[in-house]
Structure 1
Amino acid sequence: MLCAIQLEILVRELDGILYQTLHLAANGLPTLLGDRMVNEYINNGNAPLIYFDSDQQEATNSHVLKNDGVVINLNCEGQGFADDPIDMQKNFAKVINHTTQICLWGDRQKEMLASLIPSSRTDALITTGYPSFDLLQPKFQPFYHNDTISKQHGEDYILINTSFSMFNHEMGFDYYVKMLSKMDEWKIYGTPEYQESLRQRCDHQEKTALALIEVAQVLSRKYPERHIIIRPHPGENSSYYSEKVKDHDNIFVTKKYSAREWIASAGAVIHHDCTTGMEAMLMGKNVIQFEPYKAIEGSALLMTQIGHKSTCVTEVLQNIEHKTLPPDIRQKYLSELAPYLNNINSNAAGKIAQLAAQFAESNKQTWLPKPLGLIGQAKCWRKYVSKLLRARQPGRNGRKVRYALNKFPRLRKEEVVEKLKRLREVEPELPEVSVEQLCLNTFLIKPL
């Protein structure tokens, strides 16, 4: 059977999903992956396939199920490490009504969702981990090393990852929340009670962001020979930071490249409650958790436990001198993470691929999508060029389009082929595959 995966945020998801496609190929399964056109292909066809739903696409899920296909929910957000408010967890649980199987990052998330769905469907929950986190093993360090970053910033820069896209969203808080509340799967954002909790979170995020900016400025003066990199969350407005540090020549604000490419060469990584703090710890880096104000509901509380705890600039300066986390402390974090992240003890991509292969056993029919014709290709390019032009508009309209382009910029076939090649260099036992570009940003990957 054909597998299909639509990506939402390219820089966050691509590497892990490509790794997953190699494991699917090892089980004889081809994969259709890319942007919105993946769902266009699916909804315009009637052949059974295995659809990996990552964003609760009820209409697409129902279409797949109606055509004797399989829907495997593989949420790139991981049910918030099970520390989201209960109303948000209930929202995640709704996907049970139009899915075959839900793959969960860890046992704790499974326990949470099991308490929120009908007991007759708990067998649909399976703990797998998430494929992206398989790539945090030390052997994948060469895969993430970016020569361009190292040449420009060295191998000892200080990386500050921010995750404050609620108060500092590219489109503005009010507009972003209004947009979400119009979506069937996110109507919770429209309730007064939830909006009040979001505003409290915004206040906390803004205070913390301003404190992190002060940290960056102090580090800039303390270490004039080192570069300080501020990397905002993909949904954040970068100019919020760049305007406040423009007088510091060794502070750089950028969303370019993936977070892990920046982590790979960093001398130290600072975060508040960002998943990148966990990623940096797993990649063997010196991690500093900055918490100038007590965490509130809505913060990723598990993430705030990872790293040298620092509540002020002085403590950050002390902890920046560490070269890495002590082995016993790192082992403590691994033990605490294991119930939330199955990747700590097993390979998620392999487990998920085996699950898909089991479903494929019952249906040997494989539909392979064809490249779009000239007219279809032209429509894709027209939409993309229109976005490039509209992104130059001032005000909210321009910000909205820039946000969409940041989430999924143009993806070239050469980049896909190169990443697959580099993944196979780390794990040569994974199979060779062919890559066919069906249209702009959409590809078919098949085992040879």
Structure 2
Amino acid sequence: MDKRYKWLYLPVEVKVRELDAKLLLAYHAVKSGFRVVLGEHVAVEQAAWQLPKGIFFSKGYPNDFRNRIVQKQSRHATVELDDEGFIMYDQQRYLIDRTDYAQFQRLNQIYCWGNFQYQLISKRYPKLIPKLHTTGNPRFDLLSPKYRILYRNQANKIQSQLGDFVLFNTRFSEYNHFSGKKESESDSVHGYMKQLYRHFIKLMKHLSEANPHLHFVIRPHPTESFRSYQYEFATNANVSVVPHGNVIAWIMASKVLIHNGCTTGIEAFLLDHPVISYVPISHPKYDVDLPNDVSRSLTTMKEVDDYIKKIDSGKNLKTKNTRALRPYYNYRDSSYAYNQLIHLINKINVKPSLPPPKPINKIRYKRKKFKYRFSGLSEKEISEFFNRLDQIEGDENPIIIDQLDQDLFEIYRPDLGD
């Protein structure tokens, strides 16, 4: 006999950045009695039109895009945790582009990474304070000592394949976009990112030639062109471009991470891993300070080369600047973000519903168009992740994973529900 469940819809837009955190949230939501629909963003959107009323988990969007999402999911309760709400190089631009009072009024709950984002939104829209909650993000739950174990085997495998390597994570899509280079005036964001891009290319070439015993791995931002790096380093045998896989395992496997204003700098810091911010130039408007503040900030290629040699010799050079992060993310909170989110979602009055008696209609969208950000998802991938979580939790969680369509899954426990 079918049981009634509260339904939770979890869309994933950029797989390498979002999937594991959404799986962590889904795992614990299912343990709490939810029936979860998870998968590629457009697929989840379309499934949510056909499946029972529930709670749609918005990942945050530019206002014009959010308006479409919220309107089409109006039959559901909608909550939002903006993926871009943690780091912003222009606070006013963030408020203009990604917050809107009328749209926020239609959300049931709005989640914030930390007190900084909470204060920014609450000062702009004081009437929305009852909807605002500081929760953190499950992405950072995965960096805790408890959950980083999920990535140890993968990190060991990477190390065995590559040996000692330096990891570069880039954020230059404002210039080096997957659709093509964006040329502009030098003082524009595109022009500034072009300069940073060229400085990083020069640094990578110098380091790879000065340290032939080391390997160098470049992980471009998901919206960057990885082919431009492949072209630049076609003749450098100790340089690889790797645009896939969760970044946590790659950070753990590396000797050191090098970045400029990238969230992965903070992820490395929270993993207690050596991290360098390379700042050969600066701009008061376009620099992102927080990731640089929790890293060892270096300004010349010689400084970077010397620092890598110290790490290569076995010196412990982990960054200790915890104070800078506190206003933005309360990472020492003993309560994980997924716990706080599930606690809040459970407060929303949504009537439990039976699953539909027949399969949903075929999901239709141009999958090739989104291949660069979502490479595909299988039942095996989800099951293996949940099995590793079972081992960490010391629990057997009898979860059912049903495939509804390509890159779209329904996840639940048959022993729960009403």
Common fold by TM > 0.5: yes
Q: 1:139 and 2:146 equivalent? A: yes
Find the residue that maps to 1:358 and give its secondary structure.
coil
Q: 2:46 aligns with which of 37, 40, 64?
A: 40
Counting only pairs closer than 5 Å after superposition, residues 225-240 of structure 1 correspond to structure 2 as 225-240=213-228
**1:442 shift after superposition:** 0.6
**1:151 shift after superposition:** 2.9
Is the CA contact 1:158–1:226 (under 8 Å) kept in the aligned structure 2? yes
TM-score normalized by structure 2?
Answer: 0.87
Counting only pairs closer than 5 Å after superposition, residues 275-314 of structure 1 correspond to structure 2 as 275-314=263-302
Report the equivalent of 1:90.
Answer: 96
Counting only pairs closer than 5 Å after superposition, residues 296-335 of structure 1 correspond to structure 2 as 296-320=284-308, 321-322=310-311, 329-330=319-320, 332-333=321-322, 335=323
Q: 1:22 and 2:9 equivalent? A: no
Report the equivalent of 2:386.
Answer: 420
Structure ranking higher in helix proportion: 1
Is the CA contact 2:277–2:292 (under 8 Å) kept in the aligned structure 1? yes
Give the letter for the 2:408 counterpart. Answer: T
TM-score normalized by structure 1?
Answer: 0.82
Is the CA contact 2:217–2:241 (under 8 Å) kept in the aligned structure 1? yes
Is the CA contact 2:174–2:182 (under 8 Å) kept in the aligned structure 1? no
Q: Deviations along 1:201-225, whole A, 9 cap, x unmatched?
A: 1222121122212222222123212
Give the letter for the 2:131 counterpart. Answer: A
TM superposition outliers: structure 1 runs of 4+ over 6 Å: none
Q: Deviations along 1:272-313, whole A, 9 cap, x unmatched?
A: 111001101111211011000013413322112121111011
Is the CA contact 1:62–1:98 (under 8 Å) kept in the aligned structure 2? no
Q: 1:129 and 2:131 equivalent? A: no
Q: 1:55 aligns with which of 60, 68, 71?
A: 60
* Distance in 1 separating the partners of 2:271 and 2:72: 40
* Distance in 2 separating the partners of 1:350 and 1:14: 18
Q: 2:80 aligns with which of 63, 73, 76?
A: 73
Is the CA contact 1:159–1:262 (under 8 Å) kept in the aligned structure 2? yes
* Distance in 1 separating the partners of 2:304 and 2:358: 53
* Distance in 1 separating the partners of 2:358 and 2:198: 48
**1:148 shift after superposition:** 4.3
CA RMSD of aligned residues (A): 2.5
* Distance in 2 separating the partners of 1:339 and 1:81: 12
Counting only pairs closer than 5 Å after superposition, residues 396-435 of structure 1 correspond to structure 2 as 401=369, 404-429=370-395, 431-435=397-401
**1:71 shift after superposition:** 0.9
**1:369 shift after superposition:** 5.5
**1:430 shift after superposition:** 8.0
Report the equivalent of 2:257.
Answer: 269
**1:26 shift after superposition:** 2.6
Find the residue that maps to 1:407 and give its secondary structure.
coil
Q: Deviations along 1:308-349, whole A, 9 cap, x unmatched?
A: 11101111012222357657x52x32x321221133323101
Q: 1:370 to 1:422 in 2, by over 3 A?
A: farther
**1:63 shift after superposition:** 4.7
* Distance in 1 separating the partners of 2:221 and 2:49: 31
* Distance in 2 separating the partners of 1:250 and 1:173: 26
What is the total number of aligned residue pairs between the two structures?
396
Q: 1:167 aligns with which of 165, 175, 193?
A: 175
* Distance in 1 separating the partners of 2:180 and 2:389: 37
* Distance in 2 separating the partners of 1:55 and 1:277: 22
Report the equivalent of 1:153.
Answer: 162
Q: Percent sequence identity over matched residues?
A: 26
Q: Deviations along 1:386-430, whole A, 9 cap, x unmatched?
A: x3xxxxxxxxxxxxx4xx202011211111111111122222358
Structure 2 residue ranges without an equivalent (≥5): 1-5
Report the equivalent of 1:395.
Answer: none
* Distance in 1 separating the partners of 2:33 and 2:394: 17
Q: 1:376 and 2:383 equivalent? A: no
Of 280-289 and 214-223, deviating more is: 214-223
Report the equivalent of 1:391.
Answer: none
Is the CA contact 1:48–1:367 (under 8 Å) kept in the aligned structure 2? no
Is the CA contact 2:87–2:263 (under 8 Å) kept in the aligned structure 1? no
Q: 1:371 to 1:20 in 2, by over 3 A?
A: farther
**1:92 shift after superposition:** 2.1
Give the letter for the 1:50 counterpart. Answer: I
* Distance in 2 separating the partners of 1:444 and 1:23: 14
Q: Deviations along 1:141-182, whole A, 9 cap, x unmatched?
A: 33123254223212x21001111111000013669xxxxxxx
Q: Deviations along 1:335-365, whole A, 9 cap, x unmatched?
A: 3212211333231011001111122xx3342
* Distance in 1 separating the partners of 2:362 and 2:215: 46
Find the residue that maps to 1:256 and give its secondary structure.
coil
* Distance in 2 separating the partners of 1:110 and 1:348: 15
Structure 1 residue ranges without an equivalent (≥5): 176-194, 388-400
Find the residue that maps to 2:352 and give its secondary structure.
coil
* Distance in 1 separating the partners of 2:265 and 2:332: 15
Q: 1:212 and 2:217 equivalent? A: no
**1:366 shift after superposition:** 2.4
Is the CA contact 1:436–1:445 (under 8 Å) kept in the aligned structure 2? yes
Q: 1:16 to 1:200 in 2, by over 3 A?
A: same
* Distance in 2 separating the partners of 1:324 and 1:59: 52
Q: Deviations along 1:365-391, whole A, 9 cap, x unmatched?
A: 225367846x727x57xx54xx3xxxx
